[in-house]
A = this chain, B = another copy of it.
Amino acid sequence: MTDHLAGALEGTSAGTSPGVTAAAGFRASGVTAGLKASGKPDLALVVNDGPRQAGAAVFTTNRVVGAPVLWSRQAVTDGVVSAVVLNSGGANVGTGPRGFQDAHATAEKVADALGVSAGDVVVCSTGLIGVPLASERLFAAVAPAVAALGDAAGPDAATAILTTDSVAKTAHVRVETPGGTFTVGGMAKGAGMLAPAMATMLAVLTTDADVDAATADAALRAATAATFDRVDSDGCMSTSDTVTLLASGASGVTPRADVLADAVLRVCASLARQLVADAEGASHDVAVHVHGATTQAAAVAVARAVTRSTLVKAAMYGNDPNWGRIIAQVGTVPEDVAPFDPSALDVTINGLQVCRAGGAHEDPARLDLAAAREVHVTVDLHAGDASATVWTNDLTHDYVHENSAYST
């Protein structure tokens, strides 16, 4: 799965996006360390060859976090990131002091092989919680991973970080500015709703823009808040979510901060949309748009209340435009969070206004949800002029199946 975004002035690319190697100054690789029982690739490297090595990252807000998050939080504090090493086949969460030693040693091995400082290596892991990492296998695969590094190998890295994802997710955008062209690329894996315990959302973005860590950090935080944070798989927050942005400066272009932020936002939006689309077994991608809110935060709160409803999600699976369940969820949001008059609520599903002023309006039977992969639910609160969209999937038998038969 790839998505090529039109640059501001350039137009859409064609073919497979190179992802993290779309931008100049980066090499990547993806190899098989043997962490996955399937024998599929499970170790990825992304290396920033500079000249600049600015980096920023956003982490899960869960208080229970994996050892890699503990390590990587420290690694990014100085704004310098030389490389990111990512493994699937083990989350290294709930693994105690040994887990932290494993994360630290992974950074050391990668740093030694690359000739950089271990403190400039971000570590990301995804897989089962509570199982020690097969760290000897991981360490042994570092040399092959370094040997495999290539400036067109972004897709290999994107493949090696997959867990239950069915396809690799990559995207990039090239942006022409008066000062020249710069590129932002990226890869992501699985916040798909169908196995979120292992579906730690990991993403690495790269840019050849010549920007400092603070600028990268601001762009990344704004972008994740509006994209990855609004993919509300099943409301289960991972212990390992990590999104990293590396800037190499290799283009020699220093865009305006808002131009960089827009490019990062567009790549994150593409990756987030790909994550929704790859929720295995899901039959619908569901966008909940809330309009007429007093603030954007209120709009997000209402949208989340709807996207987190197992009843709404199960109805979507049944192609049932059950607006009663939708307004019931809207009503659970406290008034101090989102002021609105319950008797003013409108609900539109795929263009048909099924609920007007809190009551039945058009006949839902006119909708044929079975024919649509995307379902767009629009809730108008009629209380202000702020809006927001949160994406989710339907709740399917495959979700129950995958998540009831995972660790055992």
Tell me whether A314 and B360 are in contact (CB under 8 A): no
Nearest-neighbour CB distance to chain B for A300, whole angstroms, equals: 17
CA separation between A328 and B61, bound complex, in Å? 11
The answer to the question of A63 belonging to the interface, with a C-beta cut-off of 8 Å to chain B, is yes
Most buried by B among A309, A314, A315, A316: A314
Tell me whether B399 and A314 are in contact (CB under 8 A): yes
Tell me whether B236 and A63 are in contact (CB under 8 A): no
Tell me whether B404 and A331 are in contact (CB under 8 A): no
Tell me whether B129 and A325 are in contact (CB under 8 A): yes
Tell me whether B333 and A234 are in contact (CB under 8 A): no
Chain B residue nearest to A361 (CB atoms) is: B130
For chain A residues 308-331, which have a beta carbon within 8 Å of chain B?
308-311, 314-320, 322-325, 327-331
- Stretch touching chain B among A39-47, A88-96, A108-116, A154-162: A88-96
Tell me whether A311 and B197 are in contact (CB under 8 A): yes
Tell me whether B63 and A331 are in contact (CB under 8 A): yes
CA separation between A91 and B325, bound complex, in Å? 12
The answer to the question of A282 belonging to the interface, with a C-beta cut-off of 8 Å to chain B, is no
Tell me whether A235 and B310 are in contact (CB under 8 A): yes
Given contact pairs A314-B399, A331-B63, A130 touches B407 in the complex (Cβ within 8 A): no
For chain A residues 328-375, which have a beta carbon within 8 Å of chain B?
328-333, 335, 342, 345, 355, 357-360, 365
Tell me whether A314 and B400 are in contact (CB under 8 A): yes
Number of copies: 2
Within 8 Å CB of A251, what residues of B?
none
Within 8 Å CB of A332, what residues of B?
62-63, 236-237
The answer to the question of A74 belonging to the interface, with a C-beta cut-off of 8 Å to chain B, is no
Tell me whether B63 and A308 are in contact (CB under 8 A): no
Tell me whether B65 and A355 are in contact (CB under 8 A): no
Chain B residue nearest to A318 (CB atoms) is: B404
A-side interface size class:
35 or more
Tell me whether B324 and A130 are in contact (CB under 8 A): yes
The answer to the question of A408 belonging to the interface, with a C-beta cut-off of 8 Å to chain B, is yes
CA separation between A213 and B333, bound complex, in Å? 30
CA separation between A131 and B239, bound complex, in Å? 43
The answer to the question of A395 belonging to the interface, with a C-beta cut-off of 8 Å to chain B, is yes
Tell me whether B403 and A314 are in contact (CB under 8 A): yes
The answer to the question of A255 belonging to the interface, with a C-beta cut-off of 8 Å to chain B, is no
Give the residue of B196, B239, B345, B400 whose beta carbon is less than 8 angstroms from that of A331.
B239
Contact string, A196-211, partner B, CB cutoff 8 A, digits 1/0? 1100000000000000
The answer to the question of A256 belonging to the interface, with a C-beta cut-off of 8 Å to chain B, is no
Give the residue of B236, B331, B399 whose beta carbon is less than 8 angstroms from that of A62.
B331
CA separation between A238 and B194, bound complex, in Å? 26
Give the residue of B328, B345, B397 whose beta carbon is less than 8 angstroms from that of A236.
B328
Within 8 Å CB of A29, what residues of B?
none
Nearest-neighbour CB distance to chain B for A241, whole angstroms, equals: 11
The answer to the question of A405 belonging to the interface, with a C-beta cut-off of 8 Å to chain B, is yes
Tell me whether A322 and B407 are in contact (CB under 8 A): yes
The answer to the question of A147 belonging to the interface, with a C-beta cut-off of 8 Å to chain B, is no
Within 8 Å CB of A130, what residues of B?
323-324, 355, 359-360
CA separation between A262 and B95, bound complex, in Å? 44
Tell me whether A333 and B404 are in contact (CB under 8 A): no
Tell me whether B94 and A358 are in contact (CB under 8 A): yes
Within 8 Å CB of A276, what residues of B?
none
Tell me whether A406 and B324 are in contact (CB under 8 A): no
The answer to the question of A286 belonging to the interface, with a C-beta cut-off of 8 Å to chain B, is no
Q: List 9 A-B contacts (CB under 8 A).
A: A96-B359, A129-B324, A234-B311, A237-B328, A239-B328, A310-B399, A314-B400, A320-B404, A324-B407
A-B pairs with the 5 shortest C-beta distances? A129-B324, A64-B331, A318-B404, A314-B403, A96-B359
